[in-house]
Amino acid sequence: MNYADNDFLALAAPWVAELTPYVPGKPISELERELGIRNAVKLASNENPLGPGPKALAAMAALANELGRYPDGGGFELRRALAEFHGTSPAAITLGNGSNDVLDLIARTFLQPGVESVYSEFAFAVYPIAIQAVGATARVAPARNYGHDLNAMLALINEQTRVVWIANPNNPTGTWLAAAPLRSFLGAVPKSCLVVIDEAYTEYVNEPDFPDTTHWLETFPNLIVTRTFAKAHGLAALRVGYGISDPRLAELLNRVRQPFNVNALAQAAATAAISDREHVRATVELNRAGMQQVSVGLTALGLEFIPSVGNFVTVDCKRPAAAINEALLQRGIIVRPLANYGLPNHLRISIGLEAENARFLSALAEVCAA
């Protein structure tokens, strides 16, 4: 190899050299520093505007004196609580440093150069990154009405396909799949292909035919369901999520998992949060009202949006959204541009507190009038 000094790119695995990193929502502190302002509003990362519930906060406070010790690497209490919540065995649970970590564990365990992995256009940006980071080949199915087209996805699955990724509901579109089509899709996928159903926003959905696919694990042993504490449970900063699957799949995922991937505060808070039904109820109710407020406000401005069952809504600006995003930032409002999803005219708005939603809508009205 003809190596030029410090050409580190040439040293990287070729698929890593071509990888584009994930772009997170801009932190509040960063915008405040840049503009020299205070009380910026962040509606960019689908966080819970209520934050953690009282049970999670108390559990974390009680742990302060034990932080000198490593966490329980097996996550015994949290896996037991999750197993009880889902009516499964603790052996079915894989804990992750966020559900993103579980998605990554799945990629590292089952993908490699020469195998394929299928996801949908406009699906969560982490799937292509997880696939490419391990050198597997991505196959992208075209979306239908911004959502997953299960027939198009099925058409891309072959003997080389090891993992197919489905977000239900999907981020950033807020679209969702009903039980019947999703179940027949699972029935049609070959047993040699794992199906990951990412249910990060499941708590927010109030549709009668929306599935809880954790109930399907015995019927479909190639199914892995992922959940997170980052959204409805309000614990985004702690980084904690999990997978539920056949214990034999979980055992493989646990081989590549870092021994202490979920920290002690996260384990304690999540163990308390999973039984805090009242906090989830208040969160979902706030979101329902906020979604109504934002939808009415957008419609009043003559803007179209993709109907969403999540805690966010994606707006079609009908012109390049980058300038609108910039103008909102200047007014202290952080939302999420979606050009990296192939949606350059769209902005995704997380539903916040009533006052935050109102500030967003009035800033947007100003920007649209200008």
Residues that bind ligand PLP (CB under 6 A): 46, 98-100, 124, 167, 171, 198, 200, 228, 230-231, 236, 241
Q: Which is nearer to ligand PLP, 124 or 185 (CB)?
A: 124
Strand partners, 313: 349
d(CA 295, CA 309): 12
CB 120 within 8 A of CB 148: yes
- End-to-end Cα separation, the chain, in angstroms: 56
CB of 152: closest distance to ligand PLP in angstroms?
19
CB of 94: closest distance to ligand PLP in angstroms?
13
Question: Tokens standing for 285?
Answer: 């109710």
Q: Which is nearer to ligand PLP, 162 or 239 (CB)?
A: 239
CB of 141: closest distance to ligand PLP in angstroms?
16
Q: Which of 156, 148, 114, 146 is nearest to 131 (CA)?
A: 114
Q: Which is nearer to ligand PLP, 120 or 161 (CB)?
A: 120
CB of 28: closest distance to ligand PLP in angstroms?
17
Element (H, E) at 100: helix 99-110
CB of 148: closest distance to ligand PLP in angstroms?
12
CB of 169: closest distance to ligand PLP in angstroms?
8
Question: Tokens standing for 66?
Answer: 């034990």
d(CA 141, CA 210): 22
Q: Which is nearer to ligand PLP, 110 or 124 (CB)?
A: 124
d(CA 103, CA 112): 14
Q: Which is nearer to ligand PLP, 100 or 325 (CB)?
A: 100
Question: Tokens standing for 261?
Answer: 């991937």
Q: Which is nearer to ligand PLP, 228 or 261 (CB)?
A: 228
